[in-house]
Each structure stands twice: as structure tokens, then as C-alpha cells.
């Protein structure tokens, strides 16, 4: 499931394997997403991370489940880990000492 205001990006999400897409400027975005999913989402990733998108993300998620704010300013990135060290990345972010961590598939 993916949301985006741009039709070409929604199509790209479908081409990359998304089960469904929703136009992000919908008046009731969370309701539209729940309609496509048949329920609220287990996990929501917010790649924009501004107040409006985070509020929508929280509304889309099942109560008590996860919302991950992935986007945001580069200066918030406090550490970066290569993909093979994802366990170290999760330990670092769980420590509470990091603001935002990137896990990079190809560090070059």
C-alpha cells in the first residue's frame, strides 16, 4: 500500500509491487487507506515526516502498532550503518542515544 499526491509515483509504487495505492490529497486519507486494506495498517512508514503526514500516518495505524518516520532533515541523521550491520543499527536506535539512523544497502 502506498500513498502519494502524484499519479506517476503511485504508478511507480504499483510497478514495484504495492498491492494498492491511494491519492494522498484525499479528504479522508486514513479512511481511504483503511478501505483499500480492509482494516487499519499494522505498520506505517512516513517518508515525508511533516506534521500533516505524521498525523495521517498515526490515523492509518492500528492502535498500539508502529509508525516509523523515515523522512526528515539530513542533520537529524546521527549514524549510518551498512545493510549487513542492521542488527547494530537497531541496537543503536534502541539505546536512545541516536536521533535518526540510516541503514544503507550500498554504502558507495
* Residues facing 23 on adjacent strands: 4
Q: How many whole angstroms separate alpha carbon 22 and alpha carbon 59?
A: 15
Say whether pLDDT at 38 is over 80: yes
Per-residue pLDDT tens digits for 8-26: 888 988 998 999 999 999 8
Tell me: do 59 and 12 sit in the same domain.
yes
Residue 46: domain span: 2-69
Total of domains in the chain:
2
Here the CATH number for the domain that contains residue 65 is 3.40.50.720
Listed in sequence order, the residues at least 6 apart from 83 whose beta carbon sits closer than 8 Å to its beta carbon are 103, 104, 105, 106
Look up the pTM and report it: 0.60
Per-residue pLDDT tens digits for 60-107: 999 888 898 876 677 678 899 999 999 999 999 888 788 778 888 876
Looking at residue 64, what is its pLDDT? 85
Amino acid at each position: 500500500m502506498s500513498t502519494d499526491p502524484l499519479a506517476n509515483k503511485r504508478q511507480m509504487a504499483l510497478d514495484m509491487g504495492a498491492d494498492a495505492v491511494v491519492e494522498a490529497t484525499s479528504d479522508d486519507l486514513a479512511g481511504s487507506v483503511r478501505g483499500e486494506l480492509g482494516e487499519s495498517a499494522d505498520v506505517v512508514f512516513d517518508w515525508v515526516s511533516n506534521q500533516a503526514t505524521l498525523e495521517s500516518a498515526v490515523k492509518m495505524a492500528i492502535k498500539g502498532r508502529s509508525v516509523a518516520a523515515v523522512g526528515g532533515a539530513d542533520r537529524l541523521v546521527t549514524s549510518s550503518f551498512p545493510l549487513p550491520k542492521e542488527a547494530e543499527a537497531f541496537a543503536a536506535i534502541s539505546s536512545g542515544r541516536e536521533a535518526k539512523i540510516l541503514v544503507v544497502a550500498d554504502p558507495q
